[in-house]
Amino acid sequence: MNLKSIYKYGSPPHYFKLSLQLEYWLLGSGVILILIGMVGGLFIAPPDYQMGDAFRIIYFHVPSAYLSMSGYACMAVASVIGLVWRSNVAFSIAKTIAPVGAAFTFLALVTGMLWGKPMWGTAWVWDARLTSELILLLIYLAYILLHQSIEDRSKADRSSSLLALVGVINLPIIHYSVVWWNTLHQGSTISKFDSPSIASEMLWPLIFMIFGYTIFFVGVICRGSAGEVLIREKRSKWVRAFIEGIKS
Amino acid sequence: MLQTESLELFRNDVPIYSNISFNLIQGQHLVLSGSNGSGKTSLIRTLCCLTNPSSGCIKWNKSNVDSIDNDYLDRIAYLGHKNGLIDELTLMENIEVTLGKNFDRSELTNLLENFNLFAHKDILYSNLSNGQKRKTALIRVILSSKQLWIMDEPFTNLDVDSIAFIDIIINSHLNKGGMLISASHSPENRIDCDLEINLDGMIHVA
Amino acid sequence: MLLRDIIRRDVKISIRRSTDVLTGLIFFLLIALIFPLAAGTEKDLLLKMVGPVMLISALLASMMSIQNIFKPDYINGSLEQMMITTNSFSALIAVKIMMFWIIFSMPLILIASFIASAYYVTGFSIFTVILTLVLSTLSLVNLSAFAASLTLAIRNPGALISLIVIPLSLPIIIFGSKAIEYSILSMDNSGPLYFLTGMMFFTCSLGPLVTASAIKISID
């Protein structure tokens, strides 16, 4: 495999072109997969024996929660690459993932609460997963606020990358602490996606939703990070050529 | 010997200084001149390895200062825009705490007397005047026995006698093989120099 | 600059800046005072609350006083001098964090035993309270120092420091409170204590490294 064809996308002009080319394809196919998953999950899948139609919220909750956590992992990897190799592309990706990941975390929390109301009777319950999601939201917010508070852009990139790195190392510790803490209080929150036996009619829309969400997420990151790369590489010739190309 | 090659710094895409190249050998004095805001302080901080330049490199004794076994930082004494001394300690305590145990006591007494600070040596640093604070910081640099002194506007707040005395000290430092880089915005406070870099746009050798 | 000089310097400075030193201590006392007044003074209630109250007050006290670790030196320029003159900046930061812990947190821990007895804690549990506070304040000081170093160049970083420290300190708070609670209930609390010890070694070894990197970035 010719690795050079991959490495060249670490350089800003190639990355910029690639992400703009991919953007609409990713967004489009993501939306299509989500629509298929939604139709399958909301209409075709049979209602659950225990919860009735209320379980259908997992088609939105699970992808959001999964993306919030893997988004943070990607942000941390991008931060490490940015810090070690001083790469503006990596810093742009990390900065773009932050608000999008925070939005997905918020969605996961809201859908979790919407799911909790019919399931447990109250909107918020101190479940291990929901509490971990809330803490993850706070960690995202800390990254975003730190980046915004520092005026010098290069300093802001590096400081928030350091914070993302420390956050990702602590994240498993926090998650397992919350799980341990939660098992002391009550153990009766058996979630639908915990049990190994999920009916296949309910599973395939979930798979579609997860893939759709992920592809859509990458599509959103494409444009955001392309813009951030443009800002950081303002002084380069390729940026000037690009702007001239747009003006004419 | 200190060498820089094409040093350049951008902050948020604003150019601070560019194309700074010079060679400084033992016994030489480099002056950075320019108006306020011309980038002198940023260049001085880059030379102390506090700020990373956007491009270019600094070499000490032919090897890059970033390399692991380079002893550049052991050879410099830095006097910045802020004095680097602590308000809650007395003048004497400040000097002892920053220099440790190994400095020449008689030399210190000599300096204190010539700067008219001997009577103030047990006064809290925060109670000194700005000129006296600056002189204390200068004493710290002079007694540090480092080869390269890097000073950012060393003569701010100093009276004429002190400036004349420092002139003598600097000349003896250069004669003993030391090096000096200083930044100043006013020509009348400048001592004779071997190299001058004017950050207002031109580079020339004196 | 030798590390020995740093220690001597920090001790002298904190003796002269004694009002700063007392900030954390007074805050800790006040919070410990407020809880029984607000929640009632039944013995069972206070025994349940003592773990969380100790930990949370220690957390808040360290966040209130953490700005004193780097900000004064940053403002008067001595932090830059230390960066240039020491061979290992991380070692210097480790020493500064330890000195900060000794000066700011140890008085807090010393009076914690008296506060604990005001909360009706007796016997061996008081020793557990002290041990838990030692382990958790060491970790909390390292985390807060990291947050303070990230925000060194920002003018009013109080809220940002809290936002950074509190999510990262949740495991310490959870296990610390449980350790004290189990000890009061005469249950085996070795699990939480092992976790706290592990967390302490983890933060005390890696904390100075990331804090030193963050300071270099902020001073840049």
A195 pLDDT tier (thresholds 50, 70, 90): very low
Supply the DSSP symbol for B180. Answer: E
Parallel, antiparallel or unpaired: strands B195-198 and B29-33: parallel
- Can you tell me the mean pLDDT for B93-116? 84
- Alpha-carbon gap, residue B98 to C85, rounded angstroms: 10
Work out the pLDDT band at A188, boundaries 50, 70, 90. Answer: very low
pLDDT at B203: 40
For residue B80, is it left (φ>0), alpha (ψ between -120 and 50) or beta? beta
Q: Which chains touch B (3 or more CB pairs under 8 A)?
A: A, C
Model pLDDT for residues A202-214, shown as the tens digit of each residue: 788 888 999 999 9
Q: Inter-chain contact B13–A152, Cβ cutoff 8 Å?
A: no
In a domain, A155, yes or no: yes
Q: Strands B195-198, B55-60: parallel, antiparallel or unpaired by DSSP?
A: unpaired
Most confident of the following: A192-201, B32-41, C178-187: C178-187
How would you classify residue B190: left for phi > 0, otherwise alpha for psi between -120 and 50, otherwise beta?
beta
Residues 170-229 of chain A with CB under 8 A from chain C are: 170, 173-174, 177-178, 180-181, 184
pLDDT of residue A152 exceeding 70: yes
Specify the pLDDT at position A123. 77
In chain B, residues with a C-beta closer than 8 Å to the C-beta of C85 are 73
Q: Return the percentage of chain C with pLDDT > 90, whole number.
A: 60
Is the Cβ of A4 closer than 8 Å to some Cβ of chain B? no
CB contact under 8 A, A174 and C217: no
Check C84 against B86: CB less than 8 A apart. no
Tell me, yes or no, if A135 comes closer than 8 A to chain C by beta carbon. Answer: yes
The answer to whether the CB of C164 falls within 8 A of the CB of A129 is: no
Q: Is residue A159 part of a domain?
A: yes
Whether B147 has a pLDDT exceeding 60, the answer reads yes
| Domains in chain A, number | 1
Q: Which residue of C lies nearest to B81 if distances are taken between CA atoms?
A: C77
pLDDT at position C1: 57
**CA pseudo-torsion sign A139, A141, A147, A150:** negative
How many C-beta atoms surround the C-beta of residue B58 within 10 A?
Answer: 20
Nearest Cα to Cα of residue C29 among C112, C121, C106: C112
- pLDDT per residue over B149-181, tens digit each? 999 988 888 888 888 888 889 989 989 989 999
Average pLDDT estimate for C13-36: 85
pLDDT tier at C56 (50, 70, 90 boundaries)? very high
Q: What is the pLDDT of residue C201?
A: 96
Question: What's residue C209's pLDDT?
Answer: 96
Q: Per DSSP, what are the bridge partners of residue B51?
A: none
State yes or no: pLDDT of B205 exceeds 70.
Answer: no
Domain that holds residue A166: 55-204
Q: Which domains does chain B have, with CATH numbers?
A: 2-61+70-204 (3.40.50.300)
Distance between A56 CA and the closest CA of chain B, angstroms: 48
B50 Cβ under 8 Å from any chain A Cβ:
no
What is the pLDDT at residue A198?
A: 65
Summarised one tens digit per residue, pLDDT across range B19-46 is: 889 899 888 899 888 888 788 899 999 9
Q: What is the mean pLDDT of chain C?
A: 91
Question: Do the chains contact at B88 and C84, CB–CB below 8 Å?
Answer: no
Residues in A closer than 8 angstroms to C165, CB to CB, are none
Is residue A118's pLDDT more than 70?
yes
- CB burial of B159-170 (b: ≥16 within 10 Å; e: otherwise) equals eeebeebbeeeb
Question: Is residue A157 situated within a structural domain?
Answer: yes
Mean pLDDT value of segment C108-133: 90
Among partner residues C16, C75, C87, which is closest to B88 by beta-carbon distance? C16
Which one of A17-26, A172-181, C143-152 scores highest in mean pLDDT?
A: C143-152
Confidence of residue A190 (pLDDT cuts 50, 70, 90): very low
Q: Do C168 and A158 touch (CB under 8 A)?
A: no
Question: pLDDT category, A28, cuts 50, 70, 90?
Answer: very high
Q: Is the CB of B12 less than 8 angstroms away from the CB of A151?
A: yes
Residue ranges of domains in chain C: 3-219
Q: Is the pLDDT of residue B192 over 60?
A: yes
pLDDT at position C52, please? Answer: 93
CB contact under 8 A, B12 and A235: no
Backbone phi, psi, residue B85, to 5° = -120, 165
Best residue of C19, C81, C217 to probe chain B, by most B CBs closer than 10 Å: C81
Q: Which residues of B touch A158 (CB under 8 A)?
A: none
**A152, part of any domain:** yes
Where would I find the H helices in chain C? 3-16, 18-39, 43-65, 67-76, 78-85, 89-100, 106-118, 124-150, 158-184, 190-219
Residue A235 has pLDDT above 60, yes or no: yes
Task: Provide the shortest C-alpha distance from residue B23 to chain A (in Å).
Answer: 28
Put simply, the answer to whether B98 touches C77 (Cβ < 8 Å) is no
- Residue A24 or residue A183, greater confidence: A24
Within a domain: A37:
no
The SS3 call for residue B78 is: strand
Give this complex's ipTM: 0.92
Q: Which residues of A touch C157 (CB under 8 A)?
A: 149
Partners of residue A153 in chain B, C-beta under 8 Å: 12
Q: Is A153 on the interface with B (CB under 8 A)?
A: yes
Model confidence pLDDT, tens digit, residues B52-65:
998 899 999 888 88
A146 and C214 within 8 Å at the Cβ level: the answer is no
Q: Which chains touch C (3 or more CB pairs under 8 A)?
A: A, B
Of residues C93, C63, C49, the one with CA closest to residue C160:
C63
CB-based contact, B11 to chain C, within 8 Å:
no
Closest partner residue to C76 (CB to CB) among B74, B78, B87 is: B87
Tell me how many residue pairs between chain A and chain B have CB atoms under 8 A apart.
8
- The answer to the question of residue A49 being in a domain is no
Is residue A238 domain-resident? no
d(CA C16, nearest CA chain A) in Å: 32
| Rounded Cα distance, A179 and A176, in Å | 5
What is the residue-averaged pLDDT of chain A? 87
- What are residue B22's DSSP bridge partners? B4
Q: Does residue A136 sit within a domain?
A: yes
- Within 8 A of A178 by CB-CB distance, chain C residues are 170, 174
Place of tokens 């150019």: B15
A109 or B98: whose pLDDT is higher? Answer: A109
Size of interface A-C (CB pairs under 8 A): 68
User: Which chain A residue shows the shortest CA-CA distance from C191?
Assistant: A180
Chain C residues with CB-CB distance to B80 below 8 A = 77, 80-81
Task: For residue C4, name the pLDDT band (cuts at 50, 70, 90).
Answer: confident
Distance between C58 CA and the closest CA of chain B, angstroms:
27
